[in-house]
Amino acid sequence: MDAQGEAWDTEAAERAVAVLKAVADPSRYRLLWALSRRELPVSELAQLLGAHVAATSQHLSRLRAAGLVVSRREGTRIFYRAADVRGLLTEAALVATRMPERGDGGYGGAGGEAAVASVAETRPARAALVGRRRPATGRVG
């Protein structure tokens, strides 16, 4: 493989890792899942999480930096919607069901089946995030 091909693979891997780091929090995963269905204001997202608006805004900032959500302002309210992340969320839920039971309430086991059932109506997963533009900050983490 030539040097140019290796550089492209490295950049793609870095972008993919930035996306995974941004989603690597249960609250951010839940936010993405809710926003993949419809646009919502920060106040409703905070209620969904059972968290303060400030904490929810911090999570949304991380997701926005990774290019996973976009926002718009309407008066004093800020609304968020997800980029095309349904495939990513679906794949994560499916992988979780295939992981062996850990016995400590971790990944895999019965919790995963519920996640897959909730994504059953989504379209087939696709590699929608590979090749997306890099976040403006260049680094999420």
- Domain containing 54 — which CATH number? 1.10.10.10
Q: What is the rounded CA–CA span in Å between residue 119 and residue 86? A: 8
Q: Are residues 97 and 125 in the same domain?
A: yes
Pair (78, 89) in one structural domain: no
pTM score: 0.64
**pLDDT tens by residue, 62-101:** 999 999 999 999 999 999 999 999 899 989 889 888 887 7
Q: How confident is the model at residue 15 (pLDDT cuts 50, 70, 90)?
A: confident
Quote the number of domains for the chain: 2
